[in-house]
Structure 1
Amino acid sequence: MIKIENIKKSFGDEEILKGITTTFEKGKTNLIIGQSGSGKTVMLKCLIGLFQPEEGRIYYEDKAIQDMNDDEQRTLREEIGMLFQGGALFDSMNIEDNVMFPLRMFSSQKKSEMLTRVNEVLKRVNLENVNKKFPAEISGGMQKRVSIARAIVNNPKYLFCDEPNSGLDPRTATVIDNLIQEITHEYNITTIVVTHDMNSVMEIGENIVLLKNGLLVWQGTKEDIFKTDNEDVTKFVYSSDLFKKIRDIQISEQ
């Protein structure tokens, strides 16, 4: 579980986050959605420690980051997996070395032990016999699965995903969504996904936070979306043709 209390973040005179309080639940896919400029990426960077908020506290389980000493912060970093928007694989490394990279940074395992773990997570994301290939030699969807394997190779307690479906076709995006959710449930991870993809919202939105102009304006599940009369949700969500079709189908079935 991750809990934030009254988080505020500014850049110069511009206040980006204006006092956000919420909880991201363990074992669920928690989604942060909102228009460009709503503050969702800044919020993600505050959560993982890239930005320091001017006010507020961020709790991992029951301990605030602000109260952690250097050793505790290092331990926390080892417990975090990160799936970047572009995948962020190292072009000069083959797949095996890309996935092994966090183990080399944070573990003291022998090479044989690391290789065993690499093969385990590659198998988990349905990628085998690609160890010696380079990122440029595999498809975009396969690259995203490699990135997921790298993100979970250290058995993280927390998984952060920044626009994981960026650049993917709808079918491959659904595969990635389902894989993220399966891993979240299987390993009981606290997963936070920043996305603008409405397909992702309806596929894996177990706990959804909607930001607007640096404020949290709504929180609920994908099922709650069809029940709410919140105007911000309506404007943001139902502007999508996908949601118009889904809503029409649901109304016709009632």
Structure 2
Amino acid sequence: MIEVKDLKKSFGDTEVLKGINASFDKGKTNMIIGASGSGKSVFLKNMLGLFVPDSGNIYYDGVPINEMEDEEKSDLRKNMGMLFQHSALFDSMTVEENVMFPLRMFSKMRKKERLKRAHEMLERVNLEGLNKSMPSEISGGQQKRVALARAVVNYPQYLFCDEPNSGLDPRTATVIDNLIQEITRERDITTVIISHDMNSVMEIGETIVFLKDGLIAWEGTNKEIFKTDNQAVTEFVYSSELFKKVRIAQNEGL
């Protein structure tokens, strides 16, 4: 579980996060949504430890990050998995070498053990037979699945996903969403996803935090978001590409 208490972050005179309070549960797909400039990326980077908050704190299973010793912070980073927006695979490494990379960095496994774990994770994301392929030889959706296998190969306690469906067609995006949710539940991971994709919100938004101007304007589930009378949320939801298509289809059917 991750708890965020009164988190504030500014850059110069610009206050980006203005006092965030939120909690993200284990075994659930927790989503952070909001328009561009709402503070989503800065929020994520604070949770990852890439930015230091001006005030407030982030608690990982009850332990505040600003009170951790360097060794504790190092252990925390080993327990984090990251799925990047554009996969961020190493072009010079094969698929299995990409997946093994965190094990080389953060574990004491022998090469045989690393290979076995990598093969298991590639099988889990339905990529058997592509172990020796180069990233340039596989599709964008396959690259994203490799990146997901790499993010969870070390069995992290926390998984962070930055726009995991960026650039993917709807069908492939659904595959990625389902894999993230399944693996989150299987391994009881605290998963936090930044997304602007309303398809993802509908599919796997078990808990949703909506940011607006550096503050949480709404919290709820994918079942509640379409029933809220919060104007900021409804404007965001119904301006999405998904609902533009729905409206077009409805108008064409009239």
SS of residue matched to 1:144:
helix
Deviation string 1:113-148 (CA, Å, 9 cap, x unpaired) is: 110000010000001111111000000000000000
Q: In the alignment, what sits opposite 1:188?
A: 188
Q: In the alignment, what sits opposite 2:149?
A: 149
Say yes or no: does 1:100 pair with 2:100. yes
Q: How does 1:168-247 map to 2 (within 5 A)?
A: 168-240=168-240, 242-243=242-243, 245=246
Question: What is the TM-score normalised by the length of structure 1?
Answer: 0.95
SS of residue matched to 1:102:
helix
CA distance in 1: counterparts of 2:237 and 2:120, whole angstroms: 38
Unaligned runs of 5+ in 2: none
CA distance in 2: counterparts of 1:120 and 1:93, whole angstroms: 18
Identity of aligned residues (%): 65
CA distance in 2: counterparts of 1:177 and 1:96, whole angstroms: 22
Displacement after TM superposition at 1:228 (Å) = 1.2
Task: Tell me how many residue pairs correspond in the alignment.
Answer: 248
Q: In the alignment, what sits opposite 1:119?
A: 119
Q: In the alignment, what sits opposite 1:140?
A: 140
Q: How does 1:55-134 map to 2 (within 5 A)?
A: 55-134=55-134
Displacement after TM superposition at 1:212 (Å) = 0.6
CA distance in 1: counterparts of 2:173 and 2:227, whole angstroms: 26
Question: What is the TM-score normalised by the length of structure 2?
Answer: 0.95
Q: Which runs of 4+ in 1 moved over 2 A?
A: 240-246
Displacement after TM superposition at 1:241 (Å) = 5.6
Q: In the alignment, what sits opposite 2:17?
A: 17
Displacement after TM superposition at 1:61 (Å) = 0.5
CA distance in 1: counterparts of 2:200 and 2:241, whole angstroms: 14
Displacement after TM superposition at 1:71 (Å) = 1.2
CA distance in 2: counterparts of 1:223 and 1:56, whole angstroms: 30
The one-letter code sitting in structure 1 at the alignment partner of 2:229 is D
Displacement after TM superposition at 1:156 (Å) = 0.5
Alignment CA distance shift 1:241-1:92 (3 Å): closer
